[in-house]
Amino acid sequence: MASVQLGTSRSDQFFCSQFVMEAYNHAGLPITSADPRWVSPADLLHMREGDVPSLPVRQPLRYVGHLKYNPPPVITADGTATR
């Protein structure tokens, strides 16, 4: 696990799932009313649509698919594109 520290005090330190929850709260789109410091990665995972959450959910999350990097084609000297 990793943590992020945004300020100078210990209370400004977040784990990844807590950081996601705080980001949504800061944007005015809270996912849950639970304190972000009590949200684990597993809790966040179970907030998907159709899943059984362990915390009260205001807005279920939707899975949008794996993000994959698709590099741009390389244009050769003769003008053809290759990957």
Query: Mind listing the pLDDT tens digit for each residue in 41-62?
Result: 888 888 888 888 888 888 888 8
d(CA 31, CA 21): 7
Quick one: which of 35, 36, 31, 67 has its CA closest to 47? 31
- Tokens 């990793």 belong to residue: 2
pLDDT at 9 over 70: no
Taking residues 11-35, report their average pLDDT: 83
SS3 of 51, please? coil
pTM of the model: 0.57
Phi first, then psi, for residue 82 (nearest 5°) are -130, 160
Catalytic residue numbers, as ranges: 16, 66
77 to 37, 70, 74, 81: CA distances (angstroms): 55, 22, 10, 10
